[in-house]
Every structure is written in structure tokens, then in C-alpha cells.
Amino acid sequence: MTTTKLWQIHDEAGTGTGTRETADKAIAEAAGLLVQGETVAFPTETVYGLGADATNSAAVEGIYRAKGRPSDNPLIVHIADRSQMDAFAEGAPAEPLRRLMDAFWPGPLTVIVPVRAGAVSPLVTAGLSTVGVRIPDHPVALALLRAAGCPVAAPSANSSGRPSPTMAEHVADDLGGRIGGIVDGGPTGVGVESTVVEWASGAVYILRPGGVTAEQLREALSDVPVREPVRTGEPAGTPRAPGMKYAHYAPKGSMRVVLGDDPEAVAEWMRRDLDAAKTRGERTGVLTYDERRGLHHADAVISSGRLAEPETIARGLYAALRQFDREGATYILAEGCPDTGIGRAVMNRLLKAAGQEVIRV
């Protein structure tokens, strides 16, 4: 069991605590652990990441060990400045990717680029000839990356397969005692992971939907095709990017996603199914939205946000899924949301959390 150091830079409401001097001291200590080969969790605008020096294989191995992560699932490298890419990227990114970097960095966009042999640990790339890289849009993350002075590999800071962490307490719940430290920077703002894109065959391919929407990508690349992923099933073989192959984001209870155009018909079907589940001894849960809470009855009815403001759904999704665990829910029905904009990333996570179990009403 490792002693996990906690540095609190923000309180639960996301407001600053302490002085600039104490914040700088916390960043310096956390960066020191990274340089020494330890793992440190830190906030980004998307979710909390579990960081390690991307050039240090022993450090990167600590990420896989702490998370219980499959070794063929590549990691994203986080940097504070585009000039840092020169140390590990093989040549300049393709012109369409550079345009996206101009438009969305710092921000929730990861670009896949060819990697220079030996420049980062092979554990980061999972044997691929490419690497994912991004600049996060979070002051704590950027300060930590600058202080560490090295590229930092960082997947989400949770046990593999569990909902990603959007607060430091989520990290502590999953990884406390298994990592070197946690920098508490308050709740994250976007709430789902970065969008991952790759340039191939004359088009930009979305390998994972995320905080930058397909619509935003197309607006930035009006003359370049943007291809979206198949939305059901799991690809075989080695994943090109995180989140493509394995089960992710799941609460402990079993979960199904329910889709339908009529909210009242959906709620009625869910009521009957949940009643049957209760007769089997299940503790039931419903994942819904603020506007529809009154339609549902279960042991735990939890809203992830407002349909009128889809960004709130993305921001609240993982905390809602974790709340079902606290409520002891063993059987959960989740209402789908519109599959547009940020809703596409939400639906991607819901379907993965449910193991692609979908009911259409």
C-alpha cells in the first residue's frame, strides 16, 4: 500500500483555497514526484488524469498497474506547449490536424501523430507507430506540466472499466493507496474525455467522440471530410486510441440504455421493467434528466443534467453513474439523449457503460 499525498488547490465548490504560494508549492511537489517516476493524478478540463513521465517505462508501468489497465490500450501524452511535440513526434502533423490544433488547443482534442522511435516509452503507444497528444485547458494541469518539464502520459485516473473521475474524491475512491499523489483542483468542467482524431486517406477520422463535437470539427475544416465512428459494437484487434476496445465507464450494477421518441412511453416501459426487476430482488436505478425526473420511480432516480443544456449532462454523467454505486443499485435503466453535439459523446459513454445493451421503445 502506497501513501497517497493529497494537495488541495480548490475546495468542493471549485473555488481557490490557500494562497498562490501554497498552490505553487503543491504544484512543485507534485511535479517533483512525476520527475522521480511516481504517478500523480491531476485535474484537466475533461476528467482527472493519472500522470507519469511518458519517457520513463517504469513510471508508465505504474499507471497500468494502479488502474488494472490492459497493456494494449494506448495512453495520451499531455504537454504544455506545442514545441514539446518536436521531441517525440515524427515530423510535423498533417495540415488538417494543425488547423484543428490551432482551433482547439488548449482544449479537449487529442490528435494522433507518428511517433519518433524511442522518444517515449513503448508502453505509452502499446506497440503502435503513433501516439495521441493534447494540450489540456486547465490552469492546474498546465502549471504541473510546465513544472515537470516532461511529456506526461495520462489516462483517466480511475480503476479500469469504472466511470471516469470528475472530482478528486472519485480518484481517491478508486486509486487511493495505489498512486503517489492527487492534486485536487475542484470539479472538472467538460466532464467527458477528449475527442480523439486521426488523419488518414484524405480525411479526419474521429476515433473517440468527446469534448470537441463533430459539428465543431466540420466547422473548422469546411473543406476536409470528417468521418465519424461506427456507434455500436467493439472493434477487434489493437485499439488505435483509448476508449475504443474495452468496457469502460460502468457502474457496479448492470445497466441498459432505453431509447424512444415519446418520454412518457419510455417511462412506462421502464416502470414495468423495473417492477419486474424488484420482484427478482434487485435494487433499481434510473438515470434520467432534470426535465423528466417526475416521470420515473425507482429506488434511486438520478439526473445527470438538463436536456435543454446538453453540456450539463456531459458534466454530470460520471458523477451520476458513481452515485448509483453509493445507492447500492444493482439494476439500472438509463434514458438515452439526443445523439448530436456533445450528446454523441454522452451516448458513446452510456452504450459502453451498458455493454451495448439497448432497448428501443
Digit-coded pLDDT (tens) for 15-46: 555 677 789 999 999 999 999 999 999 999 99
| Amino acid at residue number 188 | T
For residue 136, what pLDDT is reported?
A: 99
Give the residues across from 309 on adjacent strands. 306
Three state DSSP letters for 11-68: CCCCCECCCHHHHHHHHHHHHHHHHCCCCEEECCCCCCEEEEECCCHHHHHHHHHHHC
CA–CA separation, 102 and 100 (whole Å): 5
The secondary structure of residue 307, as a DSSP letter, is T
**What pLDDT score was predicted for residue 22?**
85
Q: What is the pLDDT of residue 19?
A: 72
The grid cell for 98 is 494543425
Q: What three-state secondary structure class fits 218?
A: helix
pTM, two decimals, is 0.93
The residues near 211 (Cβ < 8 Å, ≥ 6 apart) are: 45, 46, 107, 108, 109, 190, 192, 193, 194, 195, 314, 342, 345
Tens digit of each residue's pLDDT (9 = 90 or more) over 254-302: 999 999 999 999 999 999 999 999 999 999 999 999 999 999 999 999 9
What are the average pLDDT values for consecutive 10-residue runs of the chain, which has 361 residues? 89 57 93 98 99 98 96 95 95 96 99 96 96 98 98 98 97 98 98 98 97 98 89 50 67 97 97 98 99 97 98 98 98 97 98 96 95
Task: Indicate the residue type of 186.
Answer: G
pLDDT at position 244 is 57
State the pLDDT at residue 79: 99
Enumerate domains of the chain plus CATH numbers. 5-184 (3.90.870.10), 254-360 (3.40.50.11030)
